[in-house]
Chain A
Amino acid sequence: MNPSNYVVLSAVLFSIGAIGVLVRRNAIIVFMSVELMLNAANLAFVAFARMNGNLDGQVVAFFVMVVAASEVVVGLAIIVTIFRTRRSASIDEPNLLKY
């Protein structure tokens, strides 16, 4: 199978994730889109590792997974806390931190 297909798939997934982040208001959905982008990047890493015949890309993919897991822990905690105080998971409403 042509390895470039994996890269194309990765680009498609990444774009879907990016558009999801931009257009959705629910913080959980935005978060899922971010995960999608991260995993698209992982897919690209693994594909390139396969194409180049060394393990560097796969190692980086593990690192990305670790970071993503940590990020999920912290991010979900923040979202839950905000939901508890504001009764809303909309990403547009908390806008106090501005000029």
Chain B
Amino acid sequence: MTELMPAEGVFSLIWVLIALPLAGAAILLFGGRRTNSWGPYLGVLTVAASGVIGVLMLLGMMQNSPEQRTYGQTLFTWVFSGSFQADMAFQLDQLSIIFVLLITIVGTLIHVYSLGYMAHDDNRRKFFGELNLFVAAMLLLVLANNYLLLYVGWEGVGLASYLLISFWQHKPSAAAAGKKAFIINRVGDVGLSLAIMLMFVTFGSVGFQDVFGVADQASEGTLTAIGLLLLLAACGKSAQFPLQSWLLDAMEGPTPVSALIHAATMVTAGVYLIVRSNVIFTAAEWAAVAVIVVGLITMWMGAIIGSAKDDIKKSLAGSTMSQIGYMITAAGLGPIGYVFAIFHLLTHGVFKAGLFLGAGSVMHGMNDNVNMRRYGALRGVMVITAGTFIICYLAIIGIPPFDGFFSKDDIIHASFERSPIIGILAMLAAGLTGFYMTRMVAMTFFGKARWEDDAHPHESPKVMTIPLIILAIGATFLGMALVYWGNIESWLEPVTGVETVELALPSWVYELTTLVLVLIGAAIAWVSYARRDVPVEAPHGSWLTRAAREELYGNQVNDALVVQPTYYTSRLLVWFDNKGVDGFVNGSAAFVGGLSGRLRRYQTGFARSYALSMVGGAVLVVLALVLVRMS
């Protein structure tokens, strides 16, 4: 276990990282209308300032030796009850800093982009306030040094996600999508809270250092249970099978939200949780196998859904599910995969944010139409958007030298080392990625124009295109930088451990095969969607297409397994309540009421008759006494 370094110098500012966006959120959300004019700019500034502090911390961290890069800061004792103690304390290490930089830098770019995208929205201030709230909660999630504080951040990002999905709450579909995301996430959150309780019962603490230090003393059954509960939590937050169905509906939110929360950062919190708890998953083999299975299923589900959706944002959401499936699979592989999961998470955060913001820019020019069958030939009118989108597209399908190539190939290598089946499935899914992403690019930017009559596509303003350009540059160079210059493997080694991948064949064989599969997928999509005309109305399609359009019946399954049984149970309970409980209560009340209706007739108001009944009663009592005495 690495020793905690005291937080000195720039590292004493760990709490400021979180406090800045939190203060921004408080000012914007409680400040009212007087902050309308300058509020959005303040929102951008707080996140940017956190980003600057994050970069300074990275530089400070690089000056220390690898064993001395874990910094702890305790603000105060938060919960103290018997033997249970949880501090408001932070831990900044090599893993946290990657997330801090991803959240704040991509977050800043998306905040800037939102200045343009949300320029005409009446509730701009609320939007930036909630976006700041999200950044603060996400930073708390990755900086917490115990599971209970992590849980606070976990719930905080869930709240921000809910608020932002249903940001346009006047649309019933957006309000419903927010509720759906919140409720399905709740299922995962139950898993996390149970895992925390189990940890406290088993280890007597919920701090990272304490739990990981003594994890190997627990029985394997307990560790497996904790691992599976953590996996359930990760499934909820990261939209993994079987809790995947909320992510596609979450696209009802504004596009910057989809980019920041539902692509780059929040949905990767599940990957963070698993990698952070790597000690537990390394010790609990079956939990790790479950992680791989969930990852593989979701990788394929997402890719299949993404191949059939005509809504550009939902297609991208399917792609996000699929890519997070890659990360989860890698995280399940053990020490060999943790680094690559985080590597892919980082590159994916950059290029997927670029893709979503690009999609937002396209929608901005097309009257917020999301139907790709109504796009086409947009490369001429949106040069910067098309260029950056295509760069990010090359990154996601894994064409060298763009960053997705490095991270995805690493995951495929690691999968092959574990088992050829996992490797082949991951490799084929990469081919499918080539298909659905090429389909998206071909339908949007190439082919013939299928615009609606009132559409006048135009390039977005600079405040939106500059973040796109920066993200595209990131998508081009980040992979190379982290492999040749930064060496992410040795950077993360103290946190996650590293195993070298030893493959049966030389690594270029795998890389070439993957590349060929991707190119085949891309070629099929190109022939089908760029060379041939795309019909404006979606054709009937094969059974697989129809199933994928229905999101592989995830909603129907949830409906049949959860919603309908709940509905009928509550109908039964309502019936029992009305007829049984209410019947008894109402019946006894009616009985007493009817009886008193009869009895009140004896209240005549005639005082002497009352006196007579009293005398009669007294005589009866005396007679009874006499009879008893005589017998």
Which A residues have a C-beta under 8 Å from some C-beta of B?
A: 18, 21-22, 25, 91-92, 94-99
Chain B residues with CB under 8 Å of A99's CB are 600-601, 603-605
Chain A residues with CB under 8 Å of B607's CB are 91-92, 94-95
Do most interface residues of chain A lie in helix, strand or loop, or is the interface mixed? loop
Could you tell me if A21 and B611 are in contact, using CB atoms closer than 8 angstroms? yes
Could you tell me if A91 and B608 are in contact, using CB atoms closer than 8 angstroms? yes
Interface residue ranges of B591-611 to A (CB < 8 Å): 600-601, 603-608, 611
Could you tell me if A95 and B608 are in contact, using CB atoms closer than 8 angstroms? no
How distant is the Cα of A97 from the Cα of B600 in the complex, in angstroms? 12
Chain B residues with CB under 8 Å of A18's CB are 615
Chain A residues with CB under 8 Å of B608's CB are 21-22, 25, 91-92
How distant is the Cα of A92 from the Cα of B606 in the complex, in angstroms? 6
How distant is the Cα of A22 from the Cα of B606 in the complex, in angstroms? 11
A–B complex contacts, Cβ < 8 Å, 18 sampled: A18-B615, A21-B611, A21-B615, A22-B611, A91-B607, A91-B608, A94-B607, A95-B604, A95-B606, A95-B607, A96-B605, A98-B603, A98-B605, A98-B606, A99-B601, A99-B603, A99-B604, A99-B605
Do most interface residues of chain B lie in helix, strand or loop, or is the interface mixed? helix
How distant is the Cα of A18 from the Cα of B614 in the complex, in angstroms? 10
Count residues on chain B whose CB falls below 8 Å from chain A CBs: 11
A sample of 15 more A-B contacts (CB under 8 A), given A91-B608, A94-B607, is A21-B608, A21-B611, A22-B612, A22-B615, A92-B608, A95-B606, A96-B605, A98-B603, A98-B604, A98-B605, A99-B600, A99-B601, A99-B603, A99-B604, A99-B605
Chain A residues with CB under 8 Å of B611's CB are 21-22
Chain B residues with CB under 8 Å of A94's CB are 607
Could you tell me if A97 and B615 are in contact, using CB atoms closer than 8 angstroms? no
How distant is the Cα of A82 from the Cα of B606 in the complex, in angstroms? 16
Residue of A at shortest CB range from B601?
A99
How distant is the Cα of A97 from the Cα of B605 in the complex, in angstroms? 5
Residue of B at shortest CB range from A96?
B605
How distant is the Cα of A26 from the Cα of B604 in the complex, in angstroms? 19
A72 to chain B, nearest CB (A): 18
Could you tell me if A95 and B615 are in contact, using CB atoms closer than 8 angstroms? no
Contact with A along B457-500 (1 / 0, CB 8 A): 00000000000000000000000000000000000000000000
How distant is the Cα of A95 from the Cα of B606 in the complex, in angstroms? 6
Contact with A along B179-215 (1 / 0, CB 8 A): 0000000000000000000000000000000000000
How distant is the Cα of A57 from the Cα of B221 in the complex, in angstroms? 83
Chain B residues with CB under 8 Å of A22's CB are 608, 611-612, 615
Chain B residues with CB under 8 Å of A95's CB are 604-607
B351 to chain A, nearest CB (A): 85
